[in-house]
Structure 1
Amino acid sequence: MRVDSHQHFWNYDPQKQDWITPEMNRIRRNFAPGDLYPLLQDAKIDGCIAVQADESLRETDFLLDLADQHEWILGVVGWADLAKDDLDEILDNYSQNPHLVGFREVLQSKDPGYMLRKDFIRGIHKLEKRGYTYDILTFPHQLSAALDLVKNCPNQRFVIDHLSKPYIKDGEWKEWKKAMIPLAERELIHCKLSGMITEADWKKWNPSELFPYLEIALELFGPERLMFGSDWPVCLVAGEYEQVFQVVEDFSNALSAGERDRIMGETAAEFYQIN
């Protein structure tokens, strides 16, 4: 099975998507399943994981509704306020929906200490008990806090989104790698090969700039804990879907067939428990 482990849908709202700046004008519109499906077909990808972009239960319901309508949306990574006292009730309400596979919050926009609050960690433990995954969306300077979070939740399945957004445009990798090593040493931590071109120079990036980061990720996590993700439609500010796909496809072509299959879908299907 070939899976795009990370993409988004939204009905564009300039207030709700205020993170979409004027220079990102290309994605200031609606993006629906009908826009993505032809791209998946062209890349011979069987399905995708739809990931939250807005921090609301309405967003989670919106994505689950789309998954109900399109069988190739294999799973949904939704949002919930993990620190709320009624989290159990919220999770109970979703417990019968097989499309909900995990949760995420936009941690990159918050102070590193946010994820170390007792009520947040308590919420992660509740996800663990119910078998949900958690996507960690951070910048490199937050990885130390992410490691402390992981240490407090040793049995939770985590995946690091976008390689934690290394500073590709600046060519920096040493400090990023140093911060990633202790996370990669923990067997339940996975990593998405996604979001790279938007961390490079949007107008003049090339695949050779991305390969060192892919090689480090492979060294640290191995193919059994790496998964391809497009980060569509966000990626469109710097390139086309097929360009993003081709970078990881070309990189994985140097590996064995089994290793390539892991990165291009089997790892994601296993991590998100897609049948």
Structure 2
Amino acid sequence: MSKRIDSHQHFWKFDPVRDSWIDESMSKIQRDFLPEDLLPLLTENKFSGCVAVQASQSEEETNFLVDLASKNDFIKGIVGWVDLRADNISERLRHFSSNKTIKGFRHVVQGEDDDFMFREDFRKGISALKAFHFTYDILIFHRQLPAAISLVKDFPNQKFVIDHIAKPDIKSGNMDSWKNGIEEIAKYENVSCKISGMVTEADWKNWKPSDLKPYLDVIFENFSADKLMYGSDWPVLNVASDYTEVVKTLENYISKFSTEDQNKIWYENAIAFYKLDQ
């Protein structure tokens, strides 16, 4: 196996107020997670770098990740946060474009109303990204796929990537509406997808690889190896698994794929999508 990039992980200094989404059921991750915690896991699993993704909605978060990246060269890129609805969005994007580590932005749309991606102010922000060559990570629950389909259709020149395969309800095994949405959104050339965040949508205590397989089948049938990239979703994955187990689950699933396709999923697609320095 050649180099690998973890296209989706987070860092934080735990703040119980700001990080209130990390409730008591997720007590395993109610603490700080910083680059020195991740590096041994990356090394052990043959990863040469990662993309750090925002976990809270503030420009301070973006600056926090920039600071970490400036001190840790294995952080190859950052997906930050900026208020895409702001009147001065182009000015803010111009400001952040001076830092080459920032590759794109994300908003926690899964926490918004289902019509959020139809909002004029949000779409105005999306329309401003391309001038600065920024990507956009789509973080949604599967019920929000119709709105995401509308978004990617209306912005054909914007590069999008779906986080966590759009969060299907793996625990219940109900996949019909999610599958229909994935089949539709995968038709758009400007959309990629991260193989990430699956174990936390499954039964945390009792999941097994066979629970994930039907969902992986759908993702691979529709996106193909050319538009898929691996992301661990560390440290969130710790509520249901551990870093190495999640890596091995995907290793086993794609073990019969060609070396060329495996390299795309582990490495090349993330490099190309985020324009990472190798």
TM-score where L is the length of structure 2: 0.97
- Residue 255 of structure 1 is matched in structure 2 by 257
What are the within-5 Å matches in structure 2 for residues 64-79 of structure 1?
Answer: 64-79=66-81
**Paired residue type of 1:152:** D
SS state of the match for residue 188, structure 2? coil
Among 135, 154, 175, the alignment partner of 2:177 is: 175
- Mind listing any 5+ residue stretches in structure 2 that lack a counterpart? none
Among 46, 66, 82, the alignment partner of 2:84 is: 82
What are the within-5 Å matches in structure 2 for residues 57-206 of structure 1?
Answer: 57-206=59-208
**Paired residue type of 2:9:** Q
CA distance in 2, matches of 1:247, 1:115: 33
SS state of the match for residue 264, structure 1? helix
Note if contact 1:140-1:166 (Cα within 8 Å) is conserved in structure 2: yes
TM-aligned CA deviation for residue 227 of structure 1: 0.5
- Residue 49 of structure 2 is matched in structure 1 by 47
CA distance in 1, matches of 2:119, 2:105: 17
The alignment yields a C-alpha RMSD, in angstroms, of 0.8
- Residue 31 of structure 1 is matched in structure 2 by 33
Runs of 4 or more, structure 1, over 2 Å off, are none
SS state of the match for residue 270, structure 1? helix
TM-aligned CA deviation for residue 244 of structure 1: 0.8
TM-aligned CA deviation for residue 74 of structure 1: 0.4
TM-score where L is the length of structure 1: 0.98
**Paired residue type of 2:18:** K
Among 243, 250, 260, the alignment partner of 1:241 is: 243
CA distance in 1, matches of 2:195, 2:102: 22
CA distance in 2, matches of 1:131, 1:116: 22
TM-aligned CA deviation for residue 265 of structure 1: 1.3
Note if contact 2:94-2:132 (Cα within 8 Å) is conserved in structure 1: no
- Mind listing any 5+ residue stretches in structure 1 that lack a counterpart? none
SS state of the match for residue 112, structure 1? coil
**Paired residue type of 1:58:** E
TM-aligned CA deviation for residue 24 of structure 1: 0.4
Task: Report how many residues are paired.
Answer: 275
**Paired residue type of 2:5:** V
CA distance in 2, matches of 1:215, 1:251: 9
* Percent identical residues: 48
- Residue 228 of structure 1 is matched in structure 2 by 230
CA distance in 1, matches of 2:175, 2:259: 28
